[in-house]
Amino acid sequence: MSQRPNLSELNQYHLGIWYSAYRFIISSCLLIIFLFTYNQLNNQYQYPKLYLYVLTIYVIVNSLQFFALNKIKTAIPKQMILIFFADVTALSLLTLALDGPNLHISLLFVITIFAASILLDARKALVITLIAVISVIYQLFLGSILDFASLRNIGNSALLAFLFFVVYGCGQIAVRRFQILENLNFSQSIELHQLQNINRYILEQIETGYLVLDENCHVVLSNPAACHLLGISAAYSADKYPLYMTQPDLFELLKFEDLKDGEKFQFESQQSLYHIHVHVKKLIVPHQLLTLLVLQDAQKLNQQVQQLKLAALGQLSASIAHEIRNPLAAIVQANELQNGSGPAQQQMLSKMISKQAQRIDSIVQDTLNMVKNRETHAVQLCLNRFIPQLIQEDLADVQKKIQLNIQKDCLISFDEAQLRQVLINLIRNAIRHNDADAPFIELNIYPHEKIIRLDVRDFGRGVAVQHRTSLFQPFFSTEITGTGLGLYLAHSFCEANQAQLAYVEQQRGACFRLICQRAAI
């Protein structure tokens, strides 16, 4: 039983087929040219009969070797050695028949040596090269001794022999480069195959359905979850197929040219048992526009949303209970101490009860503000007028502690009441945390390209690193008397007005930056 050729032998085989076809065509053309030009150019041949016999045998051998290489795909290296041995022998005899190398035979010799360097290993190619050198040079010496050739072309033969070694060296360099590129290509193909397998495995494990469509509304990629939701066979997930054949309900619903990036819709199909939520994503790849449809079970998605709402409500309830428990405990304790206390102590305890009651009221009020979802009515505000008015009307008691730096033409779109509440909260927080040695806080307002930045900066100790990730969470506060809802509400108001509120690290103190889109004048 014959062994199956490996990848290297297969490459050698395919290249050998092309080389065998080339040598058959060249030898046939040389024979035809000789037959048609012999009468005019017979004086250029030292031994014309030898030339004719060698070419005729060479054509026959080439045809037989070409046929054998096509039909017998085993022992390829041995066949290649015989091919090059036949080439060197034939070309050497042709050189002898011409009484020395000419340009055409020399060029064929060079091509043979270079092909041997590529198709054979280094040692065998070197042997072929040495045989060619010996046959070219030493045939002249042998011919001169036996008196059937002259040494007048010995210089050309020596130069040709030197050229053989140069071509052999160039061929070996080219082979090494080809091997490096082949190994690199092989390793990259393995990595790409592994990556494709990983991606396929991930897609198969994900519960969310993914459907990728091309410009002709053909499915390029689909995972098993998408096939399950759409009620189509999972066998289609591995091949490209038209959507209208497998899921006509979805195809009729889609207006493919009108699909926009980020569009969401829901649909039901007779083929599927699910009410499906679809999210459209446009994928721009080189020379192609693809559309990704993210498919989810709408009922399961609604359940997840409800679970998140319940979890948030539970967290909010627990936080409210925890925040109210402390002032309630203080009220109960003060009430118990009132019995049997003197007038002065009773007055102090009454103030404590009143203060804790106000704190409970503040917590309840902030919670109501947080959950009542008041509508946002954005208007154009000129900060050059709005900010000084805000400081004068709502921050008159701390007006001297605010240093305002504002540039001209600061126009934004924001809900006036919400912006007022955000700035009052940030400014009073900054004053409360400012260093005693610092005479003021800074309120810096300046445009930057298409946005307006409002920086509220103090010069205190700043926010500890471990607290920065929790700054805008509800009920987070580093103060005993704080409700922990001020920054959360400010952050929520900014998001409702398409603005951003972030903490900016400073070398000294803390800085809260409000970023708004610049309104058109």
Model confidence over 177-233: pLDDT tens digits?
Answer: 877 887 888 888 888 888 888 888 887 888 888 888 888 888 888 888 888 888 887
SS (HEC) of 313-352? HHHHHHHHHHHHHHHHHHHHHHHHHHCCCCHHHHHHHHHH
CB 94 within 8 A of CB 105: yes
Tokens of 440: 């003021």
CB 491 within 8 A of CB 502: no
Report the DSSP beta bridge partners of residue 186: none
Section 383-404 average pLDDT: 87
Structural domains of the chain sorted by starting position, each given as residue range(s) with its CATH number in brackets: 7-184 (no CATH), 206-300 (3.30.450.20), 302-371 (1.10.287), 378-517 (3.30.565.10)
The H-or-E segment that residue 24 falls in is helix 7-41
Calculate the average pLDDT of the chain: 79
Strand, helix or coil for residue 474: coil
* Rounded Cα–Cα distance for residues 34 and 44 (Å): 11
For residue range 266-286, what is the model confidence (pLDDT) as tens digits?
888 888 888 888 888 888 777
Strand, helix or coil for residue 455: strand
Residues 6+ apart with CB under 8 A from 112: 84, 87, 88, 91, 128, 132
Q: Mean pLDDT lowest for which of 182-186, 189-193, 239-243, 432-436?
A: 239-243
Task: Tell me: pLDDT of 312 over 70.
Answer: no
CB 207 within 8 A of CB 294: no
CB 357 within 8 A of CB 329: no
Section 320-336 average pLDDT: 75
Write b or e for each residue in 168-199: b if 16 or more Cβ atoms lie within 10 A of its Cβ, otherwise e: beebeeebeeeeeeeeeeeeeeeeeeeeeeee
Q: End-to-end CA distance of the chain, in Å?
A: 88
Whether pTM exceeds 0.85: no
Half-sphere exposure of 394 (CA within 13 A, CB side): 16
Task: Tell me: pLDDT of 7 over 70.
Answer: no
Q: How many CB atoms lie within 10 A of CB 208?
A: 15
What's the CA angle centered on 84, arms 83 and 90, to 5 degrees?
95
Strand, helix or coil for residue 519: coil
The pLDDT value recorded for residue 52 is: 85
> Is the pLDDT higher at 39 or at 418?
418
Task: Tell me: pLDDT of 355 over 60.
Answer: yes
Locate all alpha helices (DSSP H) within 214-342, ordered by sequence: 224-230, 243-246, 248-253, 298-338
The band of 428, judged by pLDDT with boundaries at 50, 70 and 90, is confident
Closest of 118, 57, 126, 67 to residue 87, by C-alpha: 57
Q: Dihedrals φ, ψ of 277, to 5°?
A: -100, 130
Residues 6+ apart with CB under 8 A from 403: 440, 441, 442, 443
For residue range 106-162, what is the model confidence (pLDDT) as tens digits?
788 888 888 888 888 888 888 888 887 777 766 655 555 444 445 455 666 677 777
The pLDDT value recorded for residue 174 is: 80
Percent of the chain surpassing pLDDT 90: 3
Task: Tell me: pLDDT of 60 over 70.
Answer: yes
Q: Mean pLDDT lowest for which of 17-26, 165-174, 336-345?
A: 336-345
Section 328-351 average pLDDT: 79
Strand, helix or coil for residue 413: strand
The pLDDT value recorded for residue 447 is: 87
Closest of 49, 26, 47, 130 to residue 88, by C-alpha: 130
The pLDDT value recorded for residue 455 is: 92
The pLDDT value recorded for residue 456 is: 92
